[in-house]
Amino acid sequence: MKENKGFLCIVFINLFLSLLTVCLSPRFDIITFMCFVIVNVIVFVLLILNDKNRENRIKKKIEDIFLLLHSLNTDVDNYEVEDDEFGGLRDEIIKVIGEKRIVTDKAVKSEQILREYTEDIAHQLKTPLTGILLMLDLIKEDEGNKIEYINRIRASSNRLHQLVDILLKLAALDSETIKMKKESISVKKLIDEVVTEMEIIFANQDFTIPVVGKDYKLICDRKWTYEAIYNIVKNGIEASEDKGVKIYLKESHIYQSITIEDFGKGISKDNLKKIYRRFYKENKDSKGYGIGLPMAKTIIEKQNGELVYTRGKTSNSFELRFYRQ
């Protein structure tokens, strides 16, 4: 647009000088002719210089764009905003490079996470499989304890089955195709089902699980919410040893919550950020897989909620908050 204005300006000057020449010398003689020639030569030179200048500017802008394409510097503050025909193109290139960098960074991070998960999964699978193979070898060498070895094989097989089931659930949660259902359920009834399951799992321990608070209707995905509560309650019971856990139901104008209070030693500040990493276990001797809390956190967040941990003097708690929509 600026170049077009410059060209029109030169043409206008040409016309003006030509008219001025005619006015100053009404008769068309050799002097008038020479003036015309001189004026047009001047105009011609100006046009050539203008085109050359425009060509250089275009060349410079193209070089800048190529430099931009070959660099991954997406700091737009390093580039001056210019209102010309290349400004939009430059902005689009910066935008594309920025998006490319974001995708690349995510891919690198995902690859690293995937590598860590693969190593953890391989380790988790290797432990029960190694136990099974060892027991099979011992059966051949010591048939007198055959029944004991078979029981150990069964226990390792059950552990392997549980791990595969958990991994399948994680894969389902990570998949973008999974959508949380929205159904109105009795939160008290859901908690009672979890408590009943805990009483079966920890039948050899003498404790109760009191539920404090009034029942309310919760809009959530029943299946996955049960999974989240199940994991946190189970972790709490294991951490509390024989003290059990308490469950509190609460609702406000902002959110509805389920709080599981345990009486274990709690989580240290150093490990607080690590507990939501998959396969991380604060206690290396724990029989768990280090998946329960990360899974619960993912489930709650997929339902417009959050998982909040609080460490007290005599107890600890995980609060599942479901924000009203």
The answer on 234 and 291 residing in a single domain is yes
Which of 45-54, 75-84, 147-156, 174-183 has the least mean pLDDT? Answer: 75-84
Domain count, the chain: 3
Q: Is residue 108 part of a domain?
A: no
Q: Is residue 157 part of a domain?
A: yes
Q: Is residue 98 part of a domain?
A: no
The answer on 147 and 219 residing in a single domain is no
Contacts of 291 (CB under 8 A, 6+ apart): 166, 170, 231, 278, 279
Q: 50 or 311: whose pLDDT is higher?
A: 311
Half-sphere exposure of 83 (CA within 13 A, CB side): 2
Give the residue among 267, 270, 279 at the shortest CA–CA distance from 309: 267
The answer on 191 and 168 residing in a single domain is no
pLDDT digits (tens, 9 = 90+) for 63-82: 766 665 555 454 544 545 45
pLDDT digits (tens, 9 = 90+) for 102-130: 777 776 766 666 666 666 667 667 767 78
Strand partners, 118: none
The answer on 188 and 309 residing in a single domain is yes
pLDDT on residue 191: 95
pLDDT at 138 over 90: no
Q: Which of 140, 174, 208 lies at the terminal end of a domain, its last residue?
A: 174
Q: Is residue 224 part of a domain?
A: yes
- Report the alpha-carbon distance of residue 266 to residue 287 in Å, rounded: 17
Average pLDDT rounded to a whole number, residues 264-289: 73
The answer on 291 and 201 residing in a single domain is yes
Q: Is residue 30 part of a domain?
A: yes
Q: Which domain holds residue 6?
A: 2-70
The answer on 312 and 194 residing in a single domain is yes
Q: Is residue 299 part of a domain?
A: yes
pLDDT digits (tens, 9 = 90+) for 226-267: 999 999 999 888 888 778 899 999 999 999 999 999 988 888
pLDDT on residue 76: 46
